[in-house]
Structure 1
Amino acid sequence: MITKPQLIHILSTTESAHVERTTSTDNMDKFCQAICAFSNDVSGSGKNGYLIIGAHDNGGLSGLKVDDQLLLKISNIRTDGNILPQPVMNVEKFIFDDGDVLVAEVQPSEFPPVRYRGRIWVRVGPRKSVATEAEEKILTERRLSNIHTFDAMPCLGTTTNDLDVKLIEKEYLPKAVAEDVLTEDKRGIEEQLASLGFYDLRYNCPTNGAIVLFGRNPERYLHGSYIQYVRFKGKDRAGDIINEHKFAGNLCRVLPKIDTFIETSIAQKRPIPVSVLREETFSKYPYWATRELLMNAIMHRDYETNAPVQFYEYDDRIEIQNPGGLYGKVTPDNFPNVSDYRNPFIAEAMKVLGYVNRFSRGVYRVQKELMENGNGKAVFDFSLVTAFKVIENISEKYLEEGFGAETTQEKPKKSPRKAQEKPKKSPRKIEEEIVMIMESNPQVTRKELAKKLDRTEDSIRYYLRKLTKAGIIEHEGPTKSGKWVIKR
C-alpha cells in the first residue's frame, strides 16, 4: 500500500494515467469508472493506479473528514459485482492537518478487459473514456498472454458451432454489455466473445468456460460438467433411491432449472403455530441458503475432472459436494474471510446472469438464514482434499408440531375416506413436473404423463395446451411418435 510520503509526492504532481483526484464523496459512478480504468492499465505500464478522495485538482486538500461509512462504501466497490472481473484494490485513510484523504490503490488486472456495468473504461494520460475497439483488442490480447485458469484456456477441437450462439446473443450479451455499446458493436461473434474472455483468437476456438456456460453439449468435452441430484431414503447412501435427476447441459440453461427445482422441490414450506392467533412459515431447507450453497459449488468446482457436483438429500440433511478442494489463497483457517476463484470467468458470468449477488458475502448470509430457519449452521468439510463438502441439516422448526412428514415415527392411520384424497398441487407445480419429465423423456405420451402424475388425461391435455401456448414446450413430429422440445 502507498505510504504517506509517497502520497504527499503524488499530491504535488499533476494528474496522470495513474492518478485521479476528486473532492466528491458520493459520485459512485465516477469512482467506479476510475477504478475500472486503473484495472485495465491500457498503457501496459504495470503500475498501480490511485483514486484520491479529498484533494483538489491542484493537490490541495479539501478538508474532508473520512468516516467509517465512506471507508465501507469505497471498499465495497471491490465486491459489489458491478466491476468485472473483480478489481484488486486496497483502501486506506490518511490524516493531515488540513483534512483527511482516502486513497483507493488499484492493481492492473491480469484478466482485462475489465468492465464497469458493461463498459470498458481506460485512461490515456489524465483523460478517462470508454475504450475504443483498438484499445479493447490490446486488452484482450494481454489477457490471453496471462491465462492461468482452466476456464480461460482454449477448448481445442471446438468451434462456434459447439456453442448455442442464439442463446448467447439473446440471454447473455444484453446483460454483459451496455445496450448502446452492444448496438454499435459490428464485430463477429468470435471477437465479441473474445472480449468477454470466452473465445481464444490464437487457436480460433471457444474457451473451456464458454463450453461450460453456452455449449450445445458440454459433456462431450468436459465429461463431469453436470449436477447429480439423488434423494436417498434414510440417513446414508445404503438406503433406497427415492428420486434422482441429472441436470445436464450448459449453465445458461441449467441454472434456471436448478433454481426452480430448489424452490419447488427442496425448500418445502409449512406453517408452524407459534400462538393461538399466529403462525410462522418455516422451510425444510431455506430456498436462498440452499441455492447459494449449490451455486457456489457449481462456480468453484474443478471442471478438469470427470466427477459431477453431487447434490444428495437424506432424511435429515442435504450434502453438496464439488470436485476440487479449497483453491489458491483460501485455507481452512481463513475460510470464508478470504476468497479466490478457480473459475473467474464462470464466476463473472454467473454474476451477470443473476445467480451470484455479491462476491465474498454469501457464506455469512447463508449461516444467518439457516439459523433463523432452525437448520443450525452449515458444516463445511475440508478433509476430503480433492473435494469440498458442505452439510445442511433439516430444520428442527419444520419438524415441530408433527409437521415432519419424513421422520421415522409411525404415522397415524388415515380413515378410508382420507386415504382416497389426493394432495393438492398448485398449477405451477404440475407444469414444472411435466417439463421435468419431458426433459428426461422427450417421447413421453399424454397417457404416461397422466399415470406418472396421478392425474386424468383431460387434466394433462389442459396443461399441455397451456404450456404450448406460453411457448415453453413444443411438439415435433407425428402425434404418436414425435417428441417434446423444451423452448425456455
Structure 2
Amino acid sequence: MQLLDIKRMAHNILENQNIESSFIEYKKSANFKDKILKTACAFANNYMNNEIGLLFVGIEEVDDKETGEKAIPKRPIEGIKEAKLEGIENELKSLLANIHPKINYHIITDQIDDEYYIVVAVESDSNGPFQTSERAEKDKDIRLKAGRYIRVGRDSRLPNPTEEFELLKKFANFSFSSNLNDTATIDDLSYEYMKEYLLQTGAKKDIREMSKLDMAKSMGLVSESEYGGYRAKNFAVLMFADTPNKFIPNAHVEIIREIDGTDKMESKKFDGPVWIQAKQVSKYFEDNIMASYTIREADKIEHKIVYNYPLTAFEELATNAILHKEYDTPEYVGIYIYKDRISFVNHNRPLPPVTIEALNRDRTFDRRQYLNKELKDMFFSLNLIESYGSGIRRAKDALLENGSPELKFYPDNEEDNYTNAVMGVNKEFLKEFNGSNDEKTTMKTTTKTTMKQEEIIKIIAENPHISAKEMAEKLNLTVDGVRYHLNKMRKAGLIRYEGSTKLGQWVIMK
C-alpha cells in the first residue's frame, strides 16, 4: 500500500474509534516492548490473511461502558510529545530488529486531537514465517519468549501445533490440490467425465472434441513427468478419476444414518469424482431424508409447507464440506443423520480469516480463502456454488425461512482440528411427525412424505401386488432400503399390507 493510503486508513480508524481486531492494536506508549514486539511479529505472519497490520503507539485503549465495546481508542488521545518522536521511532526500529527474517514495515507519524501518534504499519511478506529472537527473550527490558507469534482476533500469541503447521504450509506456499499425485497418470482420468464437465460448463465444441491428452493439457490437469508420460494433479484426480479414493485416501463422503427404533447406524459411501459426490449426496438426501408436511387451516386459502430440513441448507453444507476438505488429511467427510439433527464433519478447520467463531456469528465471508482453489473454480463453473463465500449465508437464510433452529458450528476451542456444522430439525415438524394431537394441530391437514416415498406410492397405485424386490429395481435401491421406506410409511399411516405374504396387496391409505 502507498504510505499516504496507510496514513489515511490509520487516521480514519481513530476517527471512527474502531475496536482492536486482527489487524489493529493500540498501545499507550512504547514502554510495552514485549507486547509491541510480539504483535509486530504476529502482524508479519498474517495468520488471518489481512492486507496490513496497524500498531498504534500513543493511543490508550479503553472499554465503552455504555455500549460494552472493549479496546477502543481513548479520545482525545494520550499522544506523544513532539520532542520524543524521533527517539521513540529509533527505539521501535531497534526493537523490531529482533524479528527474523526482517519484516516489511513502515513507521508513520501523524496527528489527531492536536497530539502526535506513531503507527507501525506491517505489510504481508512471503519470506516468513517470522519469529522473535532469543536475544529479545534474554533482554531484561523485553523478556519475550522467542517464537512465531500469530494474531487471532485481538490476541497476539504463540500458535498451537495445528496453527503452527498451517503457518508453515502457508509460507511454503503448499497446495495439495495443485501438486502432482504420487501415482496417478493421465490414464487414470476418465475421458468421459472430462467431456461431461466441459459440456455442463458450456465449453466450445472444438474443445470438447480434442484428444484426451490435448484436453487434459488445456485444462491444466497434467504435467509431463521427468521419467516420461503425464502425471495427473491431485485436483484432476478428485474431479475426473472414477474412484479418487484409489489415489487419495478417504476422498469420499459417508452418510451415517440413525436407524429408527434402534441404537444402530447404517452407512452409505459416495466415492466417485467429488462433483458427482456433491450431486449424489444431495439426491440421496432429497429421496431418503427430506420430508415435509402441508399446513392447511380451515379459514384460509393459503397453505404452508414445513420441511424437516430445507434442501438448500443441506446442499450448501454438504457441498461446503466437500469443497473445503483438506484432502491430504486421510479422513472422509462424514454426514451424520439423527432424528433431531444432521451433523457435517470435516477433519480440518476453515482457513483464516474464517474461524469457527466467525461461522457462528457472521453471514457472509468476503475474504474467504480456499484450500482447493481449482476445485472452487470448477464447482463454480458447474453451478454447485453460486458465488464465493456465500454458501453459509444461503444455508442460514433457508433455515430461518423454514423456521428451523440456527445453524451451529463446533468445536468451541482452539485446539481440536475439525469443523462440525450442526443443522437442527424443524421443531414444529418433529412435533407433527411424532403425531401430536394438541388443539393447534387438529386444525391442520398434514401430509408427510419423502420424495422416494412419493415414488413408492405411485408404484403401488400402478401395481398393488408388487414385491419389495421389484420396487427396489424400479427405484434403484437395495431391497433393505425399500423395506426401510415401507416400514416408515406403514407407521405413518400412509400404506398398509392386506392378505398373505405371497397373495396379498398394498393399500394406499387416504
TM-score by length of 1: 0.52
The whole-number CA distance in structure 2 between the counterparts of 1:429 and 1:298 is 34
Pair 1:396-2:427 in alignment? yes
Partner of residue 309, structure 1: 333
Opposite residue 361 of structure 1, the aligned amino acid is: S
Measured in 1, the distance between the counterparts of 2:474 and 2:221 equals 30
Q: Among the aligned pairs, what percent are the same residue? A: 21
- Superimposed CA distance per residue, residues 268-297 of structure 1 (whole angstroms, 9 cap, x where no aligned partner): 111124553342111100001111001000
Residue 159 of structure 1 is matched in structure 2 by 185
Match status 1:377 vs 2:406: yes
For the residues of structure 1 that align with 2:181 and 2:290, how far apart are their CA atoms? 37
Residue type of the alignment partner of 1:225: A
State whether structure 2 residue 222 is matched by structure 1 residue 193. no
CA contact (8 A) 2:258 2:338 kept: yes
Displacement of 1:345: 1.0
Q: 1:180 to 1:242 in 2, by over 3 A?
A: closer
Other-structure match for 2:351? 327
Unaligned runs of 5+ in 1: 6-145, 410-422, 459-488
Among 264, 282, 285, which residue is 2:309 paired with?
A: 285
In the alignment, structure 1 residue 297 sits paired with structure 2 residue 321: yes
Q: Which of 418, 442, 457 matches 1:387? A: 418
Residue 220 of structure 1 corresponds to 246
Confirm or deny: 8 A CA contact 2:329 2:347 kept in the other structure. yes
State the partner residue of 1:271: 294
AA aligned to 1:260 is K
> Equivalent residues in 2 for 1:31-430 (5 A)?
148-169=174-195, 171-176=196-201, 178-179=203-204, 182=207, 186=210, 188-202=211-225, 204-233=230-259, 240-241=263-264, 243-274=266-297, 276-277=299-300, 278-335=302-359, 336-337=364-365, 338-382=367-411, 383=413, 385-400=416-431, 402-404=432-434, 425-426=454-455
- Displacement of 1:230: 1.4
Q: Offset of 1:213 from its aligned partner?
A: 1.4
The 1:333–1:229 alpha-carbon spacing in structure 2 relative to 1, beyond 3 Å, is closer
Deviations 1:243-285 (A, max 9, x none): 4211122224333321211222222111124553342111100
State the alpha-carbon separation in 2 of the partners of residues 178 and 397 from structure 1.
46
CA spacing shift, 1:329–1:198, aligned 2, 3 Å = farther
Superposed CA RMSD: 3.8
TM-superposed CA distance for 1:353, in Å, is 2.0
SS of equivalent to 1:330: coil
Structure ID, larger Rg: 2
Q: Secondary structure at the match of 2:375?
A: helix
Aligned residue for 1:150, secondary structure, equals coil
Measured after TM superposition, the shift of residue 346 of structure 1 is 1.3
Alpha-carbon separation, structure 2, partners of 1:240 and 1:361: 37
Give, in whole Å, the separation in 1 of the partners of 2:287 and 2:223. 39
Q: Report the CA distance between 1:351 and its aligned residue.
A: 1.7
Q: 1:322 to 1:192 in 2, by over 3 A?
A: same
The separation in 2 between residues aligned to 1:391 and 1:309, in whole angstroms, is 14
Measured in 2, the distance between the counterparts of 1:172 and 1:432 equals: 32
- Do 1:367 and 1:378's aligned partners in 2 also have CA atoms closer than 8 Å? yes
Secondary structure in 2 matching 1:210 = helix
Shift of 1:189: 2.6
Deviations 1:15-38 (A, max 9, x none): xxxxxxxxxxxxxxxxxxxxxxxx
Query: Which residue does the alignment assign to 2:508?
Result: none
Tell me the distance in 1 between the aligned counterparts of 2:387 and 2:183.
Answer: 35
CA contact (8 A) 2:323 2:372 kept: yes
- CA 302–435 in structure 1, closer or farther in 2 if over 3 Å, else same: farther
Q: Following the alignment from structure 1 to structure 2, what is the Cα–Cα distance between the partners of residues 178 and 450?
A: 40
Change (3 A) 1:424 1:261: closer
Is the 1:318–1:391 Cα contact (8 Å) retained in structure 2? yes
Check conservation: 1:374, 1:398, Cα contact below 8 A.
no
* Distance of 1:349 and 1:376 partners within structure 2: 32
Give me the whole-angstrom Cα distance separating, in 2, the residues matched to 1:2 and 1:433. Answer: 67
Residue 128 of structure 1 is matched in structure 2 by none
Instruction: Give CA-to-partner distance per residue, 1:301-330, whole Å, 9 cap, x none.
Output: 111122111100111111000121122433
Give the secondary-structure state (helix, strand or coil) at the position aligned to 1:230: strand
**Contact 1:328/1:342, CA 8 A, preserved across alignment:** no
- Decide whether the 8 Å contact of 1:324 with 1:386 is kept in 2: yes
Q: Aligned partners of 2:406 and 2:417: how far apart in 1?
A: 23
Q: CA deviation at 1:173?
A: 1.8
Structure 2: gaps spanning 5 or more residues:
6-171, 439-451, 460-469, 487-496, 504-510
Helix, strand or coil for the counterpart of 1:326?
coil
Partner of 1:256: helix, strand, or coil? helix
Contact 1:162 1:217 survives alignment (8 Å): no
Q: Check whether the contact 1:214–1:252 (CA below 8 A) recurs between aligned residues.
A: no
Measured in 1, the distance between the counterparts of 2:345 and 2:337 equals: 12
Separation (CA, whole Å) in 2 of partners of 1:424 and 1:227:
24
Could you tell me whether the CA contact under 8 Å between 2:307 and 2:426 is conserved in 1? yes
Q: Judging changes above 3 Å, is the alpha-carbon distance between structure 1 residues 293 and 181 closer, same or farther for their aligned structure 2 residues?
A: same
Q: CA deviation at 1:174?
A: 2.6
